[in-house]
């Protein structure tokens, strides 16, 4: 093994010094809490009084808890919003990458919703989904369709929230836009000279060149979806008939409504493991479809 040079160690030290505020913050405020939450997950604790150590009992109980499975099912179905938002975000980015008048205004308009506060957005969509005079059902009525009760209908509540998720597509749109503008124009010029059409250029140049951003948006989308809370908390409170009982909402109810802190901590650790496995699988498979210029 080659001996590391003095410069190497100096550079490394500089690097660690630069990230030291984060490391110190993480060690003091986060790492301890993470460790404590695991210990709590092995106890029966209502926040008041002393926690009682019960080993893996909470984890065993989770396996038989139908609300756990229901919340996992709801959250898994909600993951459908990820590909939907990937596609819509990309299409919007392509549209907003054209040279048209007032481009910056359009970009701002499409990006604005993604920075609006979650509660405000939820209240707005409550109106949009109102069964009697919400704008969606109003538009459907013009073409002779009687719209569903959306958030009050257990079959439509979750699809409604998936539709609503497209409201926040501005964030991924922006990263796509950055990636699209980073594609060297000579690649397109060469392709045109070779007789490639629009679709071929999109398929063989655009898509491969932006796969790192697709990977980023995919992972972030999945993590955010697993952590969905505000919409369900504000708009449906998990109903109707538990149709929007998202995992984190159930975790919140266990922790802060019913004060089963040990059980809630166990739920949190299971969620962490689920997200970790999903992320690892995506990273492992990404070598097959993500293209890096250097690779």
38 CB-near residues (< 8 Å, 6+ apart): 265, 269
Binding other proteins by CB under 8 A: which of 5, 64, 104, 186?
A: 64
User: Whole-number minimum distance, CB 134 to other proteins, in Å?
Assistant: 9
Does residue number 140 form part of the binding site for other proteins (CB under 8 A)?
Answer: no
Q: Report the alpha-carbon distance of residue 217 to residue 175 in Å, rounded.
A: 8
Query: Considering only residues 118, 153, 196, 275, which one is a binding residue for other proteins as defined by CB under 8 A?
Result: 153
Nearest to 227 by CA among 165, 170, 285: 165
Q: Is 48 in the site for other proteins (CB under 8 A)?
A: yes
Using CB under 8 A as the binding rule, whether residue 47 contacts other proteins is answered as yes
Cα–Cα separations (whole angstroms), residue 32 to 16, 36, 264: 21, 6, 17
- Answer for which of 8, 22, 38, 127 binds other proteins (CB under 8 A) is 127
When binding is defined by CB under 8 A, the residue of 176, 253, 268, 290 that contacts other proteins is 253
Residue 132 in the binding site for other proteins (CB under 8 A): yes
**What's the CA gap between 255 and 259, in Å, rounded?**
5
| From 151, 179, 214, 232, residue interacting with other proteins (rule: CB under 8 A) | 151
Query: Measured from the CB atom, is 128 or 207 closer to other proteins?
Result: 128
Does residue 142 interact with other proteins by CB under 8 A?
A: no
Q: Which stretch, 98-106, 138-146, 149-157, 186-194, contacts other proteins (CB under 8 A)?
A: 149-157
Distance between CA atoms of 71 and 267, rounded to whole angstroms?
11
Residue 67 interacts with other proteins (CB under 8 A): yes or no = yes
Burial classification of residue 22, based on how many CB atoms lie within 10 Å of its CB (0-12 exposed, 13-18 middle, 19 or more buried) = exposed
Interaction site with other proteins (CB under 8 A):
46-49, 61, 64-67, 126-127, 130-133, 149, 151-154, 239-242, 253, 256-259
């Amino acid at each position: 093994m080659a001996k590391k040079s003095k410069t190497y160690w100096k550079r490394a030290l500089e690097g660690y010094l630069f990230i030291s505020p984060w490391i110190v913050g993480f060690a003091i405020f986060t790492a301890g809490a993470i460790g404590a939450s695991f210990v709590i997950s092995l106890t029966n604790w209502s926040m008041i009084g002393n926690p009682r150590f019960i080993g893996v009992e909470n984890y065993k109980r989770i396996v038989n808890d139908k609300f756990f499975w229901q919340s996992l099912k709801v959250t898994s179905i909600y993951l459908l919003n990820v590909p939907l938002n990937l596609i819509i975000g990309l299409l919007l980015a392509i549209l907003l990458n054209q040279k048209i008048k007032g481009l910056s205004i359009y970009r701002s308009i499409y990006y604005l919703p993604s920075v609006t506060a979650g509660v405000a957005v939820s209240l707005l969509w409550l109106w949009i989904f109102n069964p009697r005079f919400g704008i969606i059902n109003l538009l459907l009525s013009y073409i002779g369709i009687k719209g569903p009760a959306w958030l009050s209908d257990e079959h439509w509540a979750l699809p409604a929230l998936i539709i609503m998720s497209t409201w926040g597509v501005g964030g991924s749109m922006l990263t796509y836009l950055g990636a699209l503008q980073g594609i060297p124009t000579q690649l397109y010029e060469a392709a045109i000279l070779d007789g490639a059409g629009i679709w071929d250029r999109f398929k063989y140049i655009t898509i491969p060149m932006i796969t790192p951003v697709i990977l980023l948006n995919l992972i972030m989308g999945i993590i955010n979806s697993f952590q969905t809370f505000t919409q369900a908390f504000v708009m449906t409170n998990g109903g109707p008939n538990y149709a929007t009982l998202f995992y984190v909402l159930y975790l919140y109810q266990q922790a802060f409504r019913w004060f089963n802190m040990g059980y809630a901590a166990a739920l949190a650790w299971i969620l962490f493991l689920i997200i970790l496995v999903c992320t690892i699988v995506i990273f492992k498979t990404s070598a097959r479809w993500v293209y890096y210029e250097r690779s």
